[in-house]
Structure 1
Amino acid sequence: MTKREEALRALESRDWSGAEVDDTKRQISIVYSVRVDQELSEWIAAESDRRGVSPSLVIRDALTEAKATEASDQTVTLKLSDLHRAVNRLVQPIGYRTA
Protein backbone atom coordinates (compact mmCIF):
# COMPACT_ATOMS: atom_id res chain seq x y z
CA MET A 1 0.00 0.00 0.00
CA THR A 2 1.38 3.42 -0.97
CA LYS A 3 1.53 6.39 1.37
CA ARG A 4 -1.20 8.08 -0.64
CA GLU A 5 -3.47 5.06 -0.24
CA GLU A 6 -2.72 4.98 3.49
CA ALA A 7 -3.61 8.65 3.81
CA LEU A 8 -6.87 8.20 1.90
CA ARG A 9 -7.82 5.18 4.01
CA ALA A 10 -7.13 7.17 7.20
CA LEU A 11 -9.42 9.95 6.00
CA GLU A 12 -12.20 7.53 5.16
CA SER A 13 -12.24 6.06 8.63
CA ARG A 14 -12.62 9.40 10.42
CA ASP A 15 -15.92 10.27 12.03
CA TRP A 16 -16.38 14.01 11.43
CA SER A 17 -19.86 14.19 13.03
CA GLY A 18 -18.48 15.71 16.25
CA ALA A 19 -16.16 18.17 14.55
CA GLU A 20 -16.31 21.85 15.44
CA VAL A 21 -15.73 24.73 13.05
CA ASP A 22 -13.06 27.22 14.05
CA ASP A 23 -14.80 30.49 13.22
CA THR A 24 -12.31 32.84 14.86
CA LYS A 25 -11.66 35.83 12.67
CA ARG A 26 -8.27 35.92 11.05
CA GLN A 27 -6.76 38.87 9.30
CA ILE A 28 -6.16 38.34 5.65
CA SER A 29 -3.00 39.82 4.30
CA ILE A 30 -2.88 41.25 0.78
CA VAL A 31 0.32 42.08 -1.05
CA TYR A 32 0.61 45.29 -3.09
CA SER A 33 3.45 46.00 -5.42
CA VAL A 34 4.47 49.65 -5.62
CA ARG A 35 7.22 51.58 -7.36
CA VAL A 36 9.02 54.25 -5.37
CA ASP A 37 11.76 56.62 -6.39
CA GLN A 38 15.33 56.14 -5.21
CA GLU A 39 15.12 58.73 -2.43
CA LEU A 40 12.05 57.10 -0.88
CA SER A 41 13.58 53.65 -1.33
CA GLU A 42 16.72 54.74 0.50
CA TRP A 43 14.63 56.20 3.33
CA ILE A 44 12.65 52.95 3.68
CA ALA A 45 15.88 50.92 3.76
CA ALA A 46 17.54 53.23 6.29
CA GLU A 47 14.45 53.29 8.51
CA SER A 48 14.13 49.51 8.43
CA ASP A 49 17.83 49.17 9.34
CA ARG A 50 17.48 51.72 12.15
CA ARG A 51 14.46 49.92 13.62
CA GLY A 52 15.75 46.43 12.89
CA VAL A 53 12.59 45.45 11.01
CA SER A 54 11.68 44.58 7.43
CA PRO A 55 10.92 47.27 4.84
CA SER A 56 7.38 45.85 4.68
CA LEU A 57 6.81 46.71 8.33
CA VAL A 58 8.08 50.27 7.81
CA ILE A 59 5.65 50.74 4.90
CA ARG A 60 2.78 49.11 6.81
CA ASP A 61 3.40 51.36 9.83
CA ALA A 62 3.45 54.46 7.61
CA LEU A 63 0.15 53.47 6.01
CA THR A 64 -1.41 52.70 9.40
CA GLU A 65 -0.35 56.11 10.68
CA ALA A 66 -1.74 57.84 7.58
CA LYS A 67 -5.05 56.03 8.02
CA ALA A 68 -5.25 57.01 11.71
CA THR A 69 -4.44 60.62 10.84
CA GLU A 70 -7.20 60.70 8.24
CA ALA A 71 -9.70 59.14 10.64
CA SER A 72 -8.96 61.77 13.28
CA ASP A 73 -9.10 64.66 10.81
CA GLN A 74 -11.81 67.20 11.53
CA THR A 75 -13.55 69.74 9.38
CA VAL A 76 -13.38 73.27 10.73
CA THR A 77 -15.15 76.40 9.68
CA LEU A 78 -13.28 79.68 9.45
CA LYS A 79 -13.63 83.01 7.78
CA LEU A 80 -12.08 83.28 4.34
CA SER A 81 -10.09 86.34 5.45
CA ASP A 82 -8.52 84.32 8.30
CA LEU A 83 -7.55 81.59 5.84
CA HIS A 84 -5.96 84.15 3.50
CA ARG A 85 -3.97 85.69 6.37
CA ALA A 86 -2.68 82.26 7.44
CA VAL A 87 -1.66 81.30 3.91
CA ASN A 88 -0.01 84.67 3.32
CA ARG A 89 2.09 84.22 6.47
CA LEU A 90 3.27 80.84 5.19
CA VAL A 91 4.30 82.06 1.75
CA GLN A 92 6.00 85.32 2.75
CA PRO A 93 9.80 85.19 2.92
CA ILE A 94 10.95 84.82 6.54
CA GLY A 95 12.62 88.25 6.64
CA TYR A 96 9.40 90.02 5.62
CA ARG A 97 6.96 88.49 8.07
CA THR A 98 4.93 90.86 10.12
CA ALA A 99 3.35 90.15 13.47
Structure 2
Amino acid sequence: MTSREEALRALESRDWTGAVVDDAKRSTSIVYSVRVDQELSEWIAAESDRRGVSPSLVIRDALVEAKTAEAGDETVTLKLSDLHRAVNRLVQPIGYRTA
Protein backbone atom coordinates (compact mmCIF):
# COMPACT_ATOMS: atom_id res chain seq x y z
CA MET A 1 0.00 0.00 0.00
CA THR A 2 1.37 3.45 -0.92
CA SER A 3 1.60 6.41 1.42
CA ARG A 4 -1.18 8.13 -0.50
CA GLU A 5 -3.48 5.14 -0.09
CA GLU A 6 -2.65 4.97 3.62
CA ALA A 7 -3.44 8.68 4.01
CA LEU A 8 -6.76 8.34 2.20
CA ARG A 9 -7.71 5.29 4.27
CA ALA A 10 -6.83 7.16 7.49
CA LEU A 11 -9.09 10.04 6.46
CA GLU A 12 -11.98 7.68 5.71
CA SER A 13 -11.79 6.07 9.14
CA ARG A 14 -12.07 9.28 11.16
CA ASP A 15 -15.08 9.78 13.35
CA TRP A 16 -15.97 13.49 13.23
CA THR A 17 -19.16 13.26 15.33
CA GLY A 18 -17.49 14.85 18.39
CA ALA A 19 -15.66 17.52 16.41
CA VAL A 20 -15.89 21.14 17.50
CA VAL A 21 -15.71 23.99 15.01
CA ASP A 22 -13.12 26.61 15.91
CA ASP A 23 -14.79 29.83 14.84
CA ALA A 24 -12.29 32.16 16.51
CA LYS A 25 -11.69 35.30 14.51
CA ARG A 26 -8.35 35.23 12.74
CA SER A 27 -6.80 38.06 10.82
CA THR A 28 -6.16 37.46 7.17
CA SER A 29 -2.56 37.64 6.05
CA ILE A 30 -1.82 38.83 2.52
CA VAL A 31 1.54 38.35 0.83
CA TYR A 32 3.05 41.13 -1.29
CA SER A 33 6.03 40.64 -3.52
CA VAL A 34 8.39 43.62 -3.79
CA ARG A 35 11.70 44.26 -5.47
CA VAL A 36 14.38 46.09 -3.52
CA ASP A 37 17.87 47.15 -4.52
CA GLN A 38 20.94 45.40 -3.13
CA GLU A 39 21.65 48.04 -0.49
CA LEU A 40 18.15 47.80 0.97
CA SER A 41 18.24 44.00 0.74
CA GLU A 42 21.49 43.92 2.68
CA TRP A 43 20.03 46.23 5.34
CA ILE A 44 16.94 44.00 5.69
CA ALA A 45 19.14 40.89 6.04
CA ALA A 46 21.46 42.56 8.57
CA GLU A 47 18.53 43.91 10.61
CA SER A 48 16.80 40.53 10.65
CA ASP A 49 20.06 38.88 11.79
CA ARG A 50 20.60 41.54 14.46
CA ARG A 51 17.08 41.12 15.82
CA GLY A 52 16.95 37.35 15.33
CA VAL A 53 13.73 37.52 13.30
CA SER A 54 12.71 36.85 9.72
CA PRO A 55 13.13 39.47 6.99
CA SER A 56 9.32 39.50 6.67
CA LEU A 57 9.00 40.70 10.25
CA VAL A 58 11.55 43.49 9.66
CA ILE A 59 9.61 44.67 6.59
CA ARG A 60 6.25 44.39 8.37
CA ASP A 61 7.56 46.39 11.35
CA ALA A 62 8.86 49.10 9.00
CA LEU A 63 5.45 49.34 7.33
CA VAL A 64 3.66 49.55 10.67
CA GLU A 65 6.06 52.31 11.76
CA ALA A 66 5.44 54.24 8.52
CA LYS A 67 1.66 53.87 8.91
CA THR A 68 1.82 55.06 12.52
CA ALA A 69 3.95 58.07 11.55
CA GLU A 70 1.50 58.98 8.79
CA ALA A 71 -1.49 58.71 11.12
CA GLY A 72 0.15 61.17 13.51
CA ASP A 73 1.11 63.56 10.72
CA GLU A 74 -0.83 66.78 10.46
CA THR A 75 -1.06 69.58 7.97
CA VAL A 76 0.24 72.96 9.05
CA THR A 77 0.02 76.36 7.44
CA LEU A 78 3.02 78.65 7.35
CA LYS A 79 4.31 81.57 5.35
CA LEU A 80 6.40 80.75 2.31
CA SER A 81 9.20 82.96 3.62
CA ASP A 82 9.32 80.95 6.88
CA LEU A 83 9.56 77.75 4.88
CA HIS A 84 12.42 79.16 2.78
CA ARG A 85 14.30 80.24 5.91
CA ALA A 86 13.92 76.79 7.46
CA VAL A 87 15.08 75.02 4.30
CA ASN A 88 18.00 77.41 3.87
CA ARG A 89 19.16 76.65 7.41
CA LEU A 90 19.15 72.95 6.61
CA VAL A 91 21.19 73.24 3.42
CA GLN A 92 23.77 75.82 4.55
CA PRO A 93 27.16 74.47 5.62
CA ILE A 94 27.42 74.31 9.41
CA GLY A 95 30.07 77.04 9.59
CA TYR A 96 27.79 79.55 7.83
CA ARG A 97 24.73 79.32 10.06
CA THR A 98 23.85 82.63 11.63
CA ALA A 99 21.02 81.87 14.02
> TM-score scaled to structure 2, two decimals?
0.77
- Residue of structure 1 equivalent to 2:9: 3
CA distance change for structure 1 residues 21 and 61 in 2, over 3 Å: closer, same or farther? closer
Deviation by residue 1:28-67 (Cα, 9 ceiling, x = unmatched): 0011111111111111011001000000000000000000
Q: CA RMSD in A?
A: 2.5
- Residue of structure 1 equivalent to 2:3: none
Q: What pairs with 1:1-99 in structure 2 (closer than 5 Å)? A: 3=9, 6-7=12-13, 14=17, 22=23, 24-99=24-99
CA distance change for structure 1 residues 3 and 98 in 2, over 3 Å: closer, same or farther? same
* Deviation beyond 2 Å, 4+ runs, structure 1: 2-8, 19-22
Unaligned runs of 5+ in 2: 1-7
Unaligned runs of 5+ in 1: none
Whole-angstrom CA distance in 1 between matches of 2:78 and 2:49: 44
Structure 1 counterpart of 2:36, which letter?
Answer: V
Aligned length: 92
Identity %: 78
